[in-house]
Structure 1
Amino acid sequence: MPLENTLASSLLLAMPGMDDPNFSRTAVLVCQHDGEGAMGVVLNRRTDVLLGELFEQLGIEGAAREMKGRQVLWGGPVQVDRGFVLHDDPRPWPSTLRFGAFGLTSSREILHAMARGDGPERYLVMVGHAGWGGEQLEGELAQNAWLTVPAPEAMVFDTDSEQLWQVAAGQIGVDMANMADYSGHA
């Protein structure tokens, strides 16, 4: 049976023993997962860049002060020169990957709309993404490198990024502080 988006819209939580510094204590939203591999975005790593600075670099004007003060997230170590907007807006934005209730958009059009006040209400802006080759993620899951949990929209968009790893595990009754650190060496 072919593997078709089996983990899309799920969160991968790095187990405490994850020795890859790119993913230590991360919560990764899986955006696509099939026989070719998987793609996701890290939701709980902030960059030093504010959205206002990003807008300025891109020549986008008119954003509200509150929006300009939001931090851009580090979505992962792949294509760190590329930006993404994770949102739950059902409108047909160009260059958007849809999975479950989420959309991941890489078009500047959505950023311009956000600055005008016509973009998604709930969103996260990030640079880069995470990626796995065919069956690589399955191998890491078999090694207990990741804990897989649901990704409710409210938790994804409304939980402080620094608390997301623990909050996401808590929804299935897991306290990451009590997990052994000798499992999970992807």
Structure 2
Amino acid sequence: MRNSQVGDLLVASTDVDGTILNRGVCLLVYEDDQTAIGLMLNRPLHLPVPAPTLDSAAGDASETSNPPASSTGAHRLAEVFDQPKADQASVEAVNVEIGSADETVDENEQPGQPHVALIGPAGDSEAGKLLNGKALHFGGPLSGPIVAVHGAPELGEAEAGEGIFVAAHRDHLEALLKAGQPVPYRLIVGHLGWTQEQLSEEIAAGVWHRIPATSEILSTADEWLWPKLIRSATSSSVSRWLGVEHVADAHQLN
């Protein structure tokens, strides 16, 4: 099984419009000869009530051993998305409050994006603190646990690019939130999945440009991520199509 493209970014082309992929940036976190798994990075969900929190229903993380990220971590990560375990936080494991229409309507809701209103259990001192001032992100239409994409190697189950780590274990998520020195991260629910044939066809059709990810994506604001990457991503694709090492940007030719 190969895992050579883990850590690549899929940057939606300028031709993509009218779907959740529009101006999207996706991090490939797992790939083998048959399948690929990716997380959208710049699709924040607008929560009109307090944010989701880790609930006792998600399991006691102290009962499990969480090894640090390693070369085999990506294969463990694939299992995370296939069969979420008790020590992971999932949308199904947090309490859902259905309030009045006025309380749950999100004026910023975008067509084609899910709308959620989640709170923690009553009396939980950590309720509403999971996001730590950050938005929960929509990673894709396929269900799965809440995961964090971050820059702390000791809190990751898998590495997804240089300096980029992925965590789904409850204790790793809690540690990120309680870190004395804040670690840049994104909390994501849901993911994208392809067969190798599907992904190859989408790239060949110009849906995605593929470029290596760097840890800079962790500290780049959602609204700036796609604009910051699209020029270099397009240049990289054109270079591959032409069989050359580099295509100069227009301003470099003047």
**Bigger mean CA deviation after superposition, 51-60 or 117-126:** 51-60
Aligned mates of 1:119, 1:58 — CA distance in 2: 25
- TM-score scaled by structure 1? 0.76
Alignment of 1:54-69 (within 5 A): 54-55=52-53, 57-58=119-120, 61-62=125-126, 68-69=132-133
What do residues 28-78 of structure 1 show as CA deviations (whole Å, max 9, x unaligned)?
Answer: 01111221211111111110138961127455745997x632111111111
Q: Structure 1 pair 24/75, CA: closer, same or farther in 2 (3 Å)?
A: same
Structure 2 residue 202 is the aligned partner of structure 1 residue 140: yes
Offset at residue 172 of structure 1 (A) = 5.3
Query: Which residue is equivalent to 1:76?
Result: 140
Aligned length: 168
3-state DSSP class of the match of 2:152? Answer: coil
Structure 2 residue 174 is the aligned partner of structure 1 residue 112: yes
Aligned mates of 1:51, 1:113 — CA distance in 2: 23
3-state DSSP class of the match of 1:162? Answer: helix
Amino acid in the other structure paired with 1:11: L
Contact 1:42 1:129 in 2 (8 A): yes
Gapped regions of structure 2 (runs ≥ 5): 55-118, 236-254
Query: Which residue is equivalent to 2:14?
Result: 16
Contact 1:14 1:26 in 2 (8 A): yes
Structure 2 residue 95 is the aligned partner of structure 1 residue 97: no
**Bigger mean CA deviation after superposition, 26-35 or 55-64:** 55-64
Query: Which residue is equivalent to 1:178?
Result: none
Contact 1:74 1:126 in 2 (8 A): yes
Aligned mates of 2:47, 2:207 — CA distance in 1: 29
Larger Rg: 2
Aligned mates of 1:87, 1:58 — CA distance in 2: 23
Relative contact order higher in (CA < 8 Å, ≥ 6 apart): 1
Residue among 150, 172, 176 paired with 1:87: 150
Contact 2:45 2:136 in 1 (8 A): yes
Aligned mates of 1:38, 1:20 — CA distance in 2: 24
Which one has the bigger helix percentage?
2
- TM-score scaled by structure 2? 0.57
Contact 2:210 2:233 in 1 (8 A): no
Amino acid in the other structure paired with 1:33: E
Aligned mates of 2:178, 2:127 — CA distance in 1: 6
Query: Which residue is equivalent to 1:182?
Result: none
Residue among 38, 42, 45 paired with 2:43: 45
Contact 1:50 1:68 in 2 (8 A): no
3-state DSSP class of the match of 1:91? Answer: helix
Q: Structure 1 pair 103/119, CA: closer, same or farther in 2 (3 Å)?
A: farther
What do residues 96-123 of structure 1 show as CA deviations (whole Å, max 9, x unaligned)?
Answer: 2323332211111122223332697121
Q: Structure 1 pair 61/110, CA: closer, same or farther in 2 (3 Å)?
A: farther
Aligned mates of 1:169, 1:35 — CA distance in 2: 27
Which one has the bigger strand percentage?
1
Aligned mates of 1:147, 1:44 — CA distance in 2: 16
